[in-house]
A = this chain, B = another copy of it.
Amino acid sequence: MLALDELDVPIVGAPLAGGPATVELAAAVSEAGGLGSLAGALRTPEQLEADVAALRARTARPFAVNLFEAQRRPGDPEAVARYAAALAAEGLPLGEPRHDDDRLGEKLALMVELRPPVVSFTFGCPARPTIDRLRAAGCAVWVTATTPEEAVEAAGAGADALVIQGVEAGGHRGGFDDDAPGDYGLLALLQLVDAAVAVPLVAAGGIVTGRAVAAVLAAGASAAQVGTALLRTPEAGTSAPHRAALAADGRRTGLTRAFSGRTARGIVNRFQREHADAPSAYPEVHHLTTPLRAAARVAGDAESINLWAGQAYPLAREAPAGEIVRALADEARARLRELAAGA
């Protein structure tokens, strides 16, 4: 089973489901010595199977597949209907706001068959039998936690490592319960979790520089997970208007449920501002807004799409992913040596 300290460099590529994730990006991160991730969520099992095969054709190095745990309960149908009516009144193209589990059962069976070195979960902790089944197949199981309580639960369920996600993180809050998303800053959360569990930790949230990689290692993490730092790489599938917004550097990020029905951080644009009261209903709202987001992306309209970005996004560079991973690791190593020499 892959142990975190077997990685050549302590950098994990974030899953980046919903567009930015590509086989090329995962391959570049793994080839640079880190751990690339495939987004298993928002892909069919057939697509995911093809992605794993394509990645294995590009690299013999370890990688992770990320899955979204199924939501415990559907959103409030009336709140979803109200939101759908409001968007329809704006004349926007909408999808059917259905509740589903993204064919999770099939994907889990696929993981047992394909045996990726790591299967990571967001949006919840799998039940112990699921974790045991994946581990028996040789997969290390990672679970994302945004609070100390979630970390303790996941460690108790048998997770091999925890992805500790601070509130700085771009994209979806990965915690278990969208009604109570963790609001811990990464450094506070790392301290609390480090004191509460014995499993290795991967730190996530706003890490865009090598100094921040060094910082989370100092705080007790075994690796840093970076997502926003990779969004401007040529290997990422980031859309043109999303890339332009990341490069423009002017605006704040904020938390929103407007695009997916689950709390996520993005650069605040018109859609996010105007729909601050969107309901907690994933994936209903995701399906509802899929057509309007697709249309806006084609039109190059950055004001109507999810501009996922962590709080430190203005520091994300446009460069090949492998170069970024190596630079982060080199800068972190140099910083730690410099400080130890003076300590």
Please give the residue numbers on chain A whose beta carbons come within 8 Å of chain B beta carbons, in ascending order: 166-168, 184-192, 194-195, 205-209, 211-212, 214-220, 310-312, 314-315, 332-333, 335-337, 339-341, 343
Contacts and interface: CB of A to CB of B under 8 A. Distances in A.
B333 A343 contact: yes
Contact of A211 (B205, B208, B219, B314): B219
A152 to B, nearest CB: 12
Contacts of A207: 187
Given A168-B187, A187-B207, 17 more contacts: A166-B187, A167-B185, A185-B187, A185-B311, A187-B206, A188-B206, A188-B312, A189-B311, A192-B311, A192-B312, A192-B314, A211-B220, A215-B215, A215-B216, A215-B219, A218-B332, A333-B343
A185 to B, nearest CB: 4
Contacts of A219: 211-212, 214-215
Contact of A212 (B168, B191, B336): B191
Contacts of A166: 185, 187
A240 to B, nearest CB: 25
A335 to B, nearest CB: 6
A179 B339 CA distance: 38
* Closest 5 pairs between A and B when the two form their complex, measured CB to CB: A340-B340, A188-B206, A168-B185, A185-B185, A188-B311
A191 B336 contact: no
Given A215-B219, A340-B337, A209 B186 contact: no
Contacts of A218: 211, 214-215, 217-218, 332, 335-336, 339
Contacts of A209: 191, 194-195
Given A215-B215, A343-B333, A168 B188 contact: yes
Contacts of A184: 168, 311
A185 B218 CA distance: 17
A336 B340 CA distance: 5
Most chain B CB atoms below 10 A, which of A219, A310, A315: A219
A315 B192 contact: yes
